[in-house]
Amino acid sequence: MRTVNYEPLTPLLFLERSYRVFENKVAIIGDTFSKTYKEFRQDCYSLAYSLKNVGVGSGDRIAYLSKNSYELLLAHYGVAMLGAILVTLNVRQDEQSINYILKHSGTKILFIEEEFLKESYFANVEKVVILNKINSTHWPQNIESYDCFFKTCKVKSLSWQKNIQDEISTIAINYTTGTTGNPKGVEICHRSVYLNAFCECIQGKLNSQSKFLHVLPMFHCNAWSYAWAVTAIGASHVFLKTTNAKAIVASIINQKITHFCAAPTVLINLMQDPSFQELRNYQGLNIITAGASPCPRIIKTYEDMGVNIIHVFGMTETHGPHLICERQKDWDFASEDELAEIKIRQGVPGIHSVFAKVVDKNMQEVPWDGNTLGEIVMRGNNIMKGYYKDPVATEQSFRNGWFHSGDLAVIHPDGYIEIKGREKDIIISGGENVSIAEVENMLYSHPDIAIASVITIQDEKWGERPHAVIKLKNGAPDLKEDDIINFCREHLAHYKCPAKVTFWDNFPMSNDKVQRELLKQEVEDYYAQK
């Protein structure tokens, strides 16, 4: 209940405040258009009105399968105005996973770019809206173009405040990539989003003159909450139709970009493009990076160019960033090489999160010696409400009053956390999680494979990639590496597919299970001797 000294926290307040303060300031910059905060707010209200017009109400799930776009940004506000729940889908997910999410979430309306549309999706939603121009004529009748769906309304005809009575109500469900089975729906609420966005404004060093380039997909934790944070501070959102290295560099220079978020893979791609050198004399660029630890070479290269690298760590369950490698004054006396080594650490809890530690199996904090391994556990205002429709998994993740990350780390004498590995069999490739079990199970579906195991190989561009080690059945045809990789690509998202395949005869076994770490060492020794 609203009182003179209490207002439910919601990121919708950010939109109202920035409209009031920056009404005629440019809020949105696209390739061929721009919008002021007045126009941006009007469009958010119009989306809410359009959704209400087709029966969307409180608690309904509205899904978007889209690359970064103005329409997707509007959804972060227009959907919430009705008390409805936004579900942003990963465009890299395979058809089976998308169908699972649509069904599991109970999605009512799916907004989608036509290039990602599959006929099977229609069975799991009431309505499909195509965000771009419809090119095909064979789709079912429950489809509509965005231009027809979107109806302009007068702002006064919709009052969203009555729909947001409880700040703990769910504002979005962000699905994981399904690394241990089916994707899990991570529920986040209005309050946690509000607080998390505030933190990103501070830690990301945003101000009202900032220009934020949307490089990081918004389906990754709502662009790590920057879909809301940029609006909160009255900065400008900048969108690109293509996000190749040349286009990113051109936008940085032409639009005077001050901020963007990206996985280390994107930073490597930029470094390898000839246009990267055009940034040498560019001033005032801040890059927030996470997903996998950036190697010291990446940090040193960018900071030699005058770029400020902000290294953070988090998960879908923490809205994105939970730790930040907060710079200390005494680092000014470190050499460039020493500083780069320090800055690859995941760091300390953020302003909003406050709590994180590395513990042993008995929940005792490990020594701060930079050597003793333990699991990162976290608490704070940015931890998810729980997994949607999965109380068992929620209880397991929240055991002992902490959220268990499953990431193995050490903590240094200065209190800075550094990840060393993962408790689960997960590969992080280009910021995406890949389940070893999923890839192995798919390989075992091949009729000519007798034994399959997946190990991790380091990759300068992607951080980590899967490496399949297989033994063919007796009498099987003489398959080649490309045959196996192509088979994987028919059944998995491409980022999950092995980058390399090794044919192996003698697998180290125990209790009928492949000893993956022993196998990894044997394979590495084999290639080292070649």
Helix (H, G, I), strand (E, B) or coil at 305: coil
Reported for 214-217, long-range contacts at CB under 8 A and 24+ positions apart, including other chains, are: 214/68, 214/73, 214/238, 214/239, 214/240, 214/260, 215/68, 215/240, 215/243, 215/248, 215/260, 215/261, 215/262, 215/266, 216/260, 216/261, 216/262, 216/263, 217/67, 217/68, 217/90, 217/91
Is the Cβ–Cβ distance between 384 and 317 less than 8 Å?
yes
What's the average model confidence in pLDDT over 217-235?
A: 97
Averaged pLDDT score across all residues of the chain: 91
Rounded average pLDDT over 418-437: 74
DSSP bridge partners of 28: 35, 237
pLDDT in tens, 40-75: 999 999 999 999 999 999 999 999 999 999 999 999
Cα–Cα distances (Å) from 526 to 127, 465, 478, 509, 515, in that order, read 55, 19, 21, 18, 17
Which residues does residue 455 pair with via DSSP β-bridges, in sequence order?
A: 467
| Residues 190 and 160: beta-carbon distance below 8 Å | no
- Mean of the pLDDT values across residues 335-340? 80
Please tell me the distance from the alpha carbon of residue 508 to that of residue 333, in angstroms, as a whole number.
49
Q: What is the pLDDT of residue 179?
A: 54
3-state secondary structure of 468: strand
pLDDT tens-place string over residues 366-416? 999 998 888 999 999 999 999 999 999 999 999 999 999 988 888 999 999
Determine how many CB atoms are found less than 10 A away from the CB of residue 399: 12
Angle at CA of residue 216, ends 212 and 220, nearest 5°: 125
Q: Please check whether residue 293 is in contact with residue 317, taking contact to mean a CB–CB distance below 8 angstroms.
A: no
Condensed to tens digits (0 to 9), the pLDDT of residues 237-290 reads 999 988 899 999 999 999 999 999 998 878 888 887 899 999 988 999 999 998
Is residue 510 pLDDT above 60, yes or no? no
- Over range 506-530, report the average pLDDT: 79
Cα separation, 237 vs 307, in Å, equals 20
How high is the pLDDT of residue 421? Answer: 61
The DSSP code for 223 is: H
- In Å, the largest CA–CA distance within the chain is 79
pLDDT higher for 470 or 295?
Answer: 470
Give the H/E segment covering residue 74.
helix 70-78
Q: Is 172 left (phi over 0), alpha (psi -120 to 50) or beta?
A: beta
Q: What is the pLDDT of residue 491?
A: 86
Enumerate domains of the chain plus CATH numbers. 12-241 (3.40.50.12780), 426-529 (3.30.300.30)
- Residue 427 has a pLDDT of 82
Q: What contacts 228, CB < 8 A, 6 or more positions away?
A: 11, 14, 76, 193, 194, 197, 222
Q: Which residue has the higher pLDDT, 438 or 443?
A: 443
> What per-residue confidence (pLDDT) applies to 511?
43
Beta carbons within 10 angstroms of residue 52's beta carbon: 18
CA distance 409 to 363: 14
Show Cβ contacts of residue 475 under 8 Å, excluding neighbours closer than 6 positions: none
Average pLDDT for 193-203: 96
CA–CA dist 176, 179 (Å, integer): 8
Check pLDDT > 80 for residue 422. no
19-23, 390-394, 449-453, 464-468: the lowest-pLDDT one: 449-453
pLDDT at position 292: 67
Residue 466 in contact with residue 456, Cβ under 8 Å? yes
- Mean pLDDT lowest among 107-121, 264-278, 303-317: 264-278
Q: Give CA separation, 74 vs 15, 17, 27, 80, in Å.
A: 11, 16, 12, 10
pLDDT digits (tens, 9 = 90+) for 473-501: 888 888 999 999 999 999 888 899 999 99
Asked if 188 contacts 171 with a C-beta cutoff of 8 angstroms, the reply is yes
pLDDT of amino acid 530: 74
- Within 10 Å of residue 188's Cβ, how many Cβ atoms? 27
- Phi/psi of residue 133, each to 5°? -65, 135
pLDDT tens digit sequence for 128-142: 999 987 776 677 777
**The amino acid at 512:** D
User: Rounded CA gap, 392 and 353, in Å?
Assistant: 24
The alpha-helical segments, DSSP class H, found in 343-475 are 391-397, 436-444
Report the distance separating Cα 21 and Cα 481, nearest Å: 60
**Are the beta carbons of 173 and 107 closer than 8 angstroms?**
no
3-state secondary structure 312-348: EEEEHHHCEEEEECCCCHHHHHCCHHHHHHHCCCCEE
